[in-house]
Amino acid sequence: MKTAPLTESAAPGTDDAPLLEVRDLSVCYRTGRAASWRRTDTPVVDRVSFDVRPGETLGLVGESGSGKSTIGRTILRLVDPVSGTITFDGREVTAFGRSTPLSYRRDVQAVFQDPASSLNPRHIVRDAITGPLRRHGRGSRKEREEAAAEAFHMVGLNPALLTRYPMELSGGQRQRVAIARAIALKPRLVICDEAVSALDVSTQSQIVNLLADLQESTGVSFLFITHDLRLVRHISQRVAVLQHGRLVEFADTEQLFRTTRQPYTRRLLAAIPATDPEGREHRRARRAAHRKAPNTT
Amino acid sequence: MTVTEKTPAFGKTEPAPPRKRNRHGLVPRLLRQPGTVAGMGVLLLVVLIAVAAPLLAPHDPAAHNYDAVLQGPGVEHWLGTDDLGRDTLSRLLYGARVALLVSVGAVGIAMLIGVPIGLLLGYRGGWTDRLGSRLLDVSDALPGIMVGFTVIAILGRGLLSLMLAVGLIFCMSFARLTRAVTLAERERQYVESAQVAGLRTPEILFRHVLPNLTGPLAVQAAGFLGHAVVIESVLSFLGLGLESDTASWGAMLSLAAEQQAEQPFLPFPPGIAIVITVLAFNVISDGINDALMGGGRTSVSRRFRGTLKAAAAASADGTTAGQDRTGSTVGAGDSSDDSDAVLAVRHVTVALDGPDGPVPLVKDAGLTLRDGEVLGLLGESGSGKSILSRSVLGLLPRGIHMTEGSVRLGGEEIAGLGEKEMRRHRGSGISVVLQDPMTALSPVHTVGRQLCEPLRLHFGLSKEQARARAVELLTRVGVRDAEGRLDDYPHQFSGGMAQRVAIAMALAAGPKVLIADEATSALDVTTQSQVLDLLLELRDEFNMSIIMITHDLGVVAETCDRVAVMYAGQIVEVGEVSDVLHRPRHPYTAALMASSPSGEVTGGRLATIPGQVPPAGSWPVGCHFADRCSFAEDGCREHPVHLAENVRCTRADDLVLEVTKP
Amino acid sequence: MGKLIAYRLVLALPQLALVSLLVFFLTYLVPGSPAAAILGAGATPESLAQVESDLGLDQPFAERLVEWFGAALTGDLGLSYSNSLPVSDLIAERLPATLSLVGGGLVFAGVFGILLGVLAALRPGPLDRAINGVTSLGLAIPEFWFGLILSLVFAVQLGWVPVVAYTPLAEDPAAWFTGMILPSIALGAPAAAMVARQTRGAMAKSLRAPYIDSLTAVGVPRTRVVVRYALKNAMIPVLASTGLTLRILIGASFVVETVFAVPGMGELLLHSVIGKDFPVVQGAVLVVAVLVIGVNLVLDVGYGLLDPKVRSQ
């Protein structure tokens, strides 16, 4: 059974003008070796539409291979789409051509998953912040260094760490640096691609709270890409669920977690391990019954 | 009192740890390698000799002396003479000039040509790269010496053509290396981050890619400098080098070959000179390579080296292994009595061999696994949960040892058993399922073959019987068309299916105890719940007990009967799952629960635990959690805290911990 | 499997075509005309023109390219400038000796290299360090010098083997074998050091792999885990670099053969290089390239047999 891609009508209330609008986005990856004479284009994102409003956190969830990261990378213009449009603040991103306007590079930033490789091991961490500032023509060298210290302050890092190398910092600290780099340019949208997945629970909650605080004080929007539904419920106002490159559901968080009728979303939700052992036999039995039921897919 | 008080990191900075002296630089690391220093010393000597050859040489290297031909070592000619009576020592000293000149020139030419080509191909990618790489492949078809021959055939003999000949041999390799490094760098997240911030291509190349190229290029250049000395000697030996009167090591060897029946000593001086010079270059090349690897991030040895450094710092505080187990009697983690225990772990301390004595990774840990139960071992990274389980299995990595403690499997002591005796228990007594199913199965053997190993070993089944049983097992764990899939390789399975195969293998010999070490952490959430449910079903069918090692509170809540919570090498709390999760008694357990998103409430803040887990080697003397605990008093920090009534907290009795769900 | 072979073949063809094109261009890269090189300094313009037309050098470029390619495909590599013998015959005469030498070196390098590498990986500590020392030395020793020393000690001084020793295999297999011992060791020693280092690294890596733990944990004996599982996994990268080893061995054999007076391709190549006998240089380069590409093809397929991931790609 093939589900038709969701159309705009499925999107929840759209009274706010969206900051980012993704329409019918399709992306293909070339498979096969680069040297192979016969390449096939495998669709990894198939006609996906959603939008992000100013000051909102949108959760983009899906299992591995759902295409969630590819969507983020397409918005960041690290991957080219096959079809569809991405509109940011009224400007069509997909029509930019080869070069990306500097203003877009300022407005849209990213925080990636792996704190170990998101900073250049050969540079002190301050460079990660001052480099982009210089590119965007922000102030003198001294002012840029002050701005870096300010960004460190905002993410709760001691400015004494500015001159350290990434190797000297812990995973959580590195991820804070990555966030400081992203917010230093005062962006309007930050793509968080599994930004807390590699962290331990106690560190993860620190970073999640930090993101919420930053949103409160700066009004930045987050596209929060993750496989962790539990986290999504905490931090996002709306959720888009992906399966095999297709958008299967796009709804308000509360609504989705409470009343979804979408079969795949329900399966995902049923699979989340609860943190309370109460009633687990019942949940197990229900899952078993569901699995034993004749294959509907 | 609750532990969910708001401690926003926002606006509040945590203290910066004191800066350690920067010993990470490449040069300091190189200078700490005695071999590399020796290599550099030898090389410096060779360079000095080459420069000062006219001053050092006792004779004119070209002067013929027909009164003293083909002499052995002697007073007048220390290293003897050749067939024209020329002084070997003098020619040897002058030969160093040619050797160094050609090798430096050749490697310089090679880098000048190769590096830009590699940068271009690597950074441009696409068609440029595809076409260029095909051209580079041509060098795969031709031996280097042959390229050298051809260049000299075209250009004739001479210093420059010698350099060019050798340089052309190398330039393809430089291009390849540069391309490979550039391609790898381009994929790095920090390069993508720079792109996202709008940095221009030349700036990214210059600031991010080139600096990371210098290391690998230095390694290769040092190696090739040595290699060039050999190729120069080969070409000179064959008469394709410089004009015959010029002293070069290769030409000297050529003469030596002709005269070896007359004067067998002749080949030794130039040959040894070549070997020593090349060896020096190679040692330096290896040294740079090692120094670069040491700067790497994720290798296991690196991780432990990091621990070692911390250990050095800790030993100053007087923290040593086993110091805090003075009073604990039963404890060590679990005070349930052993009578119905399938596995009883008591007072286990595991330590890493450090330069300044052992560094504890797990301290005085104990577990009791009852018949048929699922025991959770919950902890964050660095808690020691995996090390503890490996010590139970007798599979500790090299350099890590169980220094104390006992492990009893069904009443029999298995700690410290030799490889042979331990083998009796492995598979049938105790077995393990690891985190990543793709690496937990050998990628070049069929799953059938691996699955049959324990079956044939433990039950002495024939090939056919083992296969039949393997099919049954695979079918039971939920692999469809098990018969047909026996001859498949692990990579042909999805992650969830491969994990089912790994489970089938672990269960093949019917173990009493199964250790599931983060067995579902790498799987997608829907697959995870299926595999967890499967494990619980199998527990009943196979009549076994399971130790479920996990960092995920949800996995514990869904599957475990009892749970042991670990923090910084210690078990801090043990108990029935419903008790521990409903009424945690240790502040860490409560804090961990509060900071784990439950997925049951929309919005809201998560509780946080300030600070970080202290690394092994820098554990405090007192309570390991005290520095992050909101209930800590001075008393908590003074003495080691023991496990009493299943909780390792001095204030356990006067604290009422209540976890407000975030 | 068939697809894999076809794919490798299709990759090898452009490589071969590029090499032959390069080889053809050789004559154009030489300063001065080949005719001048043949006739020497005292040649008259008439005789030069005569030789050029004899050699077909006055034909247009494209025509010569097509003609050369066509001839090369049928095995006709032209005539030597110096003695007017067919290049293919000259090469065919020398090839067996070169192949014997390279084969011997490869066997030595493979057997000793893998043995030392596995030992070093299994026994960290003194033995590993000792083997590391030996391989460092092995990598620094020029093959031909090692050959000189070996022949000096074992042939000249001790007289255990004859000094000039090459006997064609077809003539006397026993004599061929004894004659090949020293040259093979000389040629194979540095390659053995290289193989040993690769093997040690690959073996150490596969010994650390989680599957070693999972097999050990179900009771598979250590030796079986090492021999059956770790070694097979470790051999994949080693086999993958055999092409490189082979290329180095062929190059080195050109020098080693002169030390042991083995009548191989090296001497032919050397004479033609010195005498600017380009048809021979071209032919030799082409034959060696075909050989290397062919062996690489076989190796790639063998690699595919060992590594199921490659096979099913």
Q: Is residue C150 part of a domain?
A: yes
Pairing of strands B400-409, A57-61: unpaired
Fold classification of A20-261 is: Rossmann fold (3.40.50)
Domain extent, residue C210, equals 93-274
pLDDT confidence bin for A39, thresholds 50/70/90: low
| Domain edges within chain A | 20-261, 263-297
Q: Is residue C298 part of a domain?
A: no
> B377-406: per-residue pLDDT in tens?
999 988 999 999 999 999 998 889 999 999
Q: What is residue B33's predicted lDDT score, i.e. its pLDDT? A: 86
| Residues of chain A positioned with their CB less than 8 A from the CB of B19 | 160, 164, 168
Interface touch A202/B199, C-beta < 8 Å:
no
What tokens were used for B249? 């090591």
Question: How far apart are the C-alpha atoms of B614 and C117, rounded to whole Å?
Answer: 39
List alpha helices for B295-404, DSSP H: 300-315, 385-393
Q: Name the residue among C136, C217, C232 with its Cβ closest to that of B282.
A: C136
Question: How far apart are the C-alpha atoms of A149 and B193, rounded to whole Å?
Answer: 19
Distance from CA of A63 to the nearest CA of B (A): 6
- Closest residue in C to A33 (Cα) is C313
Q: Name the residue among A76, A120, A152 with its Cβ closest to that of B196.
A: A76
* Residue B304 near residue B399, CB atoms below 8 Å: yes
Task: Give the CATH number of the domain where residue C116 resides.
Answer: 1.10.3720.10
Supply the ipTM of this predicted assembly: 0.89
pLDDT confidence bin for B28, thresholds 50/70/90: confident
From B332, B305, B294, select the one nearest B215 (Cα to Cα).
B294
State the DSSP code for B474: H
Question: How far apart are the C-alpha atoms of B504 and B422, rounded to whole Å?
Answer: 21
- Closest residue in A to B495 (Cα) is A64
| Residues of chain B positioned with their CB less than 8 A from the CB of C268 | none
Q: What is the CATH number of domain B98-293?
A: 1.10.3720.10
Q: Which residues contact B487 (CB under 8 A, 6 or more apart)?
A: B446, B448
Q: What is residue A182's predicted lDDT score, i.e. its pLDDT? A: 93
Distance from CA of C7 to the nearest CA of A (A): 8
Q: What is residue C33's predicted lDDT score, i.e. its pLDDT? A: 66
> B613-626: per-residue pLDDT in tens?
888 888 999 999 99
Interface touch A287/B15, C-beta < 8 Å:
no
pLDDT confidence bin for C313, thresholds 50/70/90: low
Question: How far apart are the C-alpha atoms of C238 and C220, rounded to whole Å?
Answer: 25
Question: How far apart are the C-alpha atoms of B48 and B69, rounded to whole Å?
Answer: 29
- Closest residue in A to B25 (Cα) is A122
Q: What is residue B35's predicted lDDT score, i.e. its pLDDT? A: 87
Domains of chain C: total: 1
User: What is the average per-residue pLDDT within A140-163?
Assistant: 93
> C74-116: per-residue pLDDT in tens?
888 888 888 889 999 999 999 999 999 999 999 999 999 999 9
Which helix or strand (DSSP H or E) is residue A209 part of?
Answer: helix A201-218
The SS3 assignment for A8 reads: helix
User: What is the average per-residue pLDDT within B458-464?
Assistant: 94
pLDDT for B318 beyond 60: no
Question: How far apart are the C-alpha atoms of B31 and B110, rounded to whole Å?
Answer: 28
From B290, B166, B156, select the one nearest B234 (Cα to Cα).
B166
Pairing of strands A20-31, A40-52: antiparallel
How far the first Cα of chain C sits from its last, in Å, is 9
What tokens were used for B540? 């009943």
Q: Which residues contact C241 (CB under 8 A, 6 or more apart)?
A: C198
User: What is the average per-residue pLDDT within A14-36?
Assistant: 74
B48-67 as b/e: b if 16+ CB within 10 A: ebbeebeeebebebeeebee
Q: Is residue C135 part of a domain?
A: yes
> B238-270: per-residue pLDDT in tens?
988 887 678 899 999 988 888 887 888 999 999
Judge whether A120 is closer than 8 Å to chain B, CB to CB.
yes
Q: What is residue B142's predicted lDDT score, i.e. its pLDDT? A: 84
Judge whether C313 is closer than 8 Å to chain A, CB to CB.
yes
Q: What is residue A202's predicted lDDT score, i.e. its pLDDT? A: 84
Judge whether A291 is closer than 8 Å to chain B, CB to CB.
yes
Q: Please give the sequence-ordered ranges of beta strands (E in DSSP) within A143-267, or none if there are none.
A: 189-193, 221-226, 238-243, 246-252
Residue C163: other Cβ atoms inside 10 A: 15
Q: What is residue C7's predicted lDDT score, i.e. its pLDDT? A: 78
Percent above pLDDT 90 for chain B: 56
| Domain edges within chain B | 98-293, 441-508
pTM of the full predicted structure? 0.85
Q: Which residues contact C92 (CB under 8 A, 6 or more apart)?
A: none
Q: Which residues contact B111 (CB under 8 A, 6 or more apart)?
A: B171, B174, B217, B221
pLDDT confidence bin for B219, thresholds 50/70/90: very high
Q: What is residue B338's predicted lDDT score, i.e. its pLDDT? A: 61
| Residues of chain B positioned with their CB less than 8 A from the CB of A201 | 380, 551, 553, 592, 595-596
Q: What is residue B605's predicted lDDT score, i.e. its pLDDT? A: 83
* Residue B556 near residue B371, CB atoms below 8 Å: no
User: Count of CB contacts below 8 A, A vs C?
Assistant: 4
For chain B positions 473-492, those within 8 Å of chain A (CB to CB) are none
Judge whether A278 is closer than 8 Å to chain C, CB to CB.
no
- Closest residue in B to A75 (Cα) is B196
